[in-house]
């Protein structure tokens, strides 16, 4: 491992001195993307999806990924070296409860016991996500209401078992991505391309969230409880009325139908011309909405990019890959060419992180609890140099720009003044298995050789370590 001894830079010091006392700085991962050792756990929909040729870009799967299940102690040591306050990870539902029903599996419990103890020994707070997309294969998936009930049962068991070492609980990660990519477009597991017929998965996921919150409260967990969703500020491609309506439609299906039931206890009203598309969310049972609308201690915002929408079908491209079903939609995504791009082709638009925070404030007002930016990061083509180092100045700039933008936004006079922003998590600690993109996209602060599994901290790791070490007490 290369020596981690660069000098502190002026930019690192300047940013460090902007971070308020008590502001949580962390990194994030997901179980299916880093753990590996899938043979010791139940199957998930992602195992089934990856087993089908053509679903994952490079033909890879979850069997090894980063082998975190065996290398967790080394990875926690890297976190400690980095100097983070908190680590956001996910419990693998199929590892802890193969099949999605019954008692917790002792071997799964043992792994998370050891990992949580390791975090505690290094003074790193545990932010635990209960569901990060790895639905047990045996369940009916989120089209089935029963999956919400099973998820509530799972939350109860996990809460009772690990309550003493988890500081923050996140029920769901990005239900919007599960619905849109997994059930509407078919480019993520389970691979359904149902378009607007996927909307029942919105309600069932949110019902599962509410049941999970109730289960955690019943288990008297001392940790704080919230949910995380990916928000994208949406703008019409032109000033035409058609583009404006389609931008409003995309804003609803990506942002509002997930946030408003959780924070306000109701689904948003669709414009008259769009009502027919949202029929699956009409006449929702009031008892379900009451279950979904649980008091929360925080709201998690994942931000990666804004979206620009035009009316009419397009090429079928989505941010996460080509989707044939996209060409059947009444709108399409338009490239935002004025910004540089990540390795995934996503626009790098840090000011829109402030826009996303401002939209949360403006839409939800006093109903919005404290906010954590639970994911923000970028993929770039990072290579190991001849001297064994990995230089990723683009990622350094990306993190600095986005963290500065977030702090600017919530400052006096900022576009999101009044939002109680509590922390920021970089996606991701490690290069990992990036879902349908396989091993083709590298988001990590730490480079992983996917043949040898050797970890090499990148220059972004060293820079962020400088920032964290230079913070004011």
E strand intervals along 46-101: 86-90
Does the annotation list 46 as a binding residue? no
E strand intervals along 69-209: 86-90, 125-131, 168-173
Q: Which residue has the tokens 């669709």?
A: 270
β-sheet bridge partners, residue 95 = none
Overall residue count recorded for the chain in this entry: 473
**Under a CB-based contact definition with an 8 Å cutoff, are residues 274 and 249 in contact?**
yes
Distances in whole angstroms, Cα of residue 299 to Cα of each of 101, 128, 442: 28, 14, 27
Angle at CA of residue 140, ends 136 and 144, nearest 5°: 130
Q: How far apart are the first and last CA of the chain?
A: 30
CA 325 to CA 122: how far, in whole Å? Answer: 47
**Under a CB-based contact definition with an 8 Å cutoff, are residues 15 and 403 in contact?**
yes
Does the annotation list 303 as a binding residue? no
- 356 alpha-carbon distance from chain centroid: 15
Burial status of residue 247 (CB atoms within 10 A of its CB: 0-12, 13-18, 19 or more) = buried
From the candidates 260, 359, 375, 394, which is the catalytic residue?
A: 375
Does the annotation list 427 as a binding residue? yes
Tell me whether residue 375 is one of the annotated catalytic residues.
Answer: yes
SS3 (DSSP) at 236: strand
Does the annotation list 72 as a binding residue? no
Whether the CA torsion 407, 84, 31, 52 is positive or negative: it is: positive
- 260 alpha-carbon distance from chain centroid: 18
Distances in whole angstroms, Cα of residue 46 to Cα of each of 7, 153, 266: 43, 21, 31
Does the annotation list 435 as a binding residue? yes
CA 51 to CA 130: how far, in whole Å? Answer: 24
Q: Which residue has the tokens 């006093």?
A: 366
Run of H or E including 248:
helix 241-251
Helix 200-218 with 257-264: angle, nearest 10 deg: 40
**Under a CB-based contact definition with an 8 Å cutoff, are residues 360 and 259 in contact?**
yes
Does the annotation list 275 as a binding residue? no
Distances in whole angstroms, Cα of residue 212 to Cα of each of 17, 61, 219, 381: 38, 29, 10, 38
Does the annotation list 132 as a binding residue? yes
Tell me whether residue 174 is one of the annotated catalytic residues.
Answer: yes
From the candidates 35, 118, 174, 260, which is the catalytic residue?
A: 174
Q: Which residues does the annotation place in the binding site?
A: 33, 132, 173, 304, 427, 434-435
Q: Which residues does the annotation place in the binding site for substrate?
A: 33, 132, 173, 304, 427, 434-435
Active site residues: 174, 375
């Amino acid at each position: 491992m290369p020596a981690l001894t660069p000098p502190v830079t002026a930019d690192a010091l300047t940013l460090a001195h902007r971070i308020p006392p008590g502001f949580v700085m962390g990194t994030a991962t997901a179980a299916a993307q880093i753990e590996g050792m899938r043979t010791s756990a139940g199957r998930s929909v992602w195992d089934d999806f990856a087993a089908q040729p053509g679903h994952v870009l490079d033909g890879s799967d979850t069997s090894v990924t980063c082998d975190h299940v065996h290398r967790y102690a080394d990875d926690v040591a890297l976190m400690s070296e980095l100097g983070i306050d908190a680590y956001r990870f996910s419990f693998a539902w199929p590892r802890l409860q193969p099949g999605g029903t019954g008692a917790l599996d002792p071997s799964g419990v043992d792994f998370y016991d050891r990992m949580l103890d390791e975090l505690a020994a290094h003074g790193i707070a545990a932010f635990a996500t209960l569901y990060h997309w790895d639905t047990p294969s045996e369940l009916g998936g989120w089209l089935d209401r029963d999956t919400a009930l099973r998820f509530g049962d799972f939350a109860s068991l996990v809460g009772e078992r690990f309550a003493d070492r988890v500081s923050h609980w996140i029920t769901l990660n990005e239900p919007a991505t599960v619905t849109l990519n997994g059930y509407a477009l078919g480019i993520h597991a389970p691979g359904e391309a149902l378009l607007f017929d996927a909307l029942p998965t919105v309600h069932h996921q949110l019902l599962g969230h509410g049941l999970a919150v109730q289960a955690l409260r019943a288990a008297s967990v001392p940790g704080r409880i919230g949910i995380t969703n990916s928000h994208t500020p949406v703008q019409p491609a032109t000033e035409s009325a058609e583009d404006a309506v389609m931008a409003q439609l995309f804003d609803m299906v990506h942002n509002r139908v997930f946030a408003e039931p959780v924070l306000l206890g109701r689904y948003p009203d669709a414009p008259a011309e769009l009502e027919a598309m949202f029929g699956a969310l009409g006449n929702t049972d009031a008892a379900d909405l009451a279950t979904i609308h649980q008091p929360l201690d925080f709201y998690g915002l994942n931000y990666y990019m804004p979206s620009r929408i035009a009316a009419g079908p397009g090429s079928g491209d989505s941010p996460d890959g080509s989707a044939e079903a996209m060409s059947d939609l009444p709108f399409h995504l338009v490239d935002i060419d004025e910004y540089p791009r990540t390795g995934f082709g996503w626009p790098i638009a840090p000011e829109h992180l402030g826009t996303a925070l401002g939209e949360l404030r403006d839409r939800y007002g006093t109903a919005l609890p404290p906010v954590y930016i639970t994911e923000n990061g970028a993929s770039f083509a990072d290579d190991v140099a001849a001297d064994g180092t990995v230089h990723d100045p683009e990622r350094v700039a990306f993190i600095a720009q986005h963290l500065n933008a977030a702090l600017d936004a919530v400052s006096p006079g900022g576009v999101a003044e009044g939002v109680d922003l509590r922390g920021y998590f970089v996606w991701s600690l490690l290069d990992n298995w990036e879902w349908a993109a396989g091993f083709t996209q590298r988001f990590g602060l730490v480079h992983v050789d996917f043949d040898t599994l050797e970890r090499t901290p990148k220059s972004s790791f060293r820079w962020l370590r400088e920032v964290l070490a230079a913070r004011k007490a």
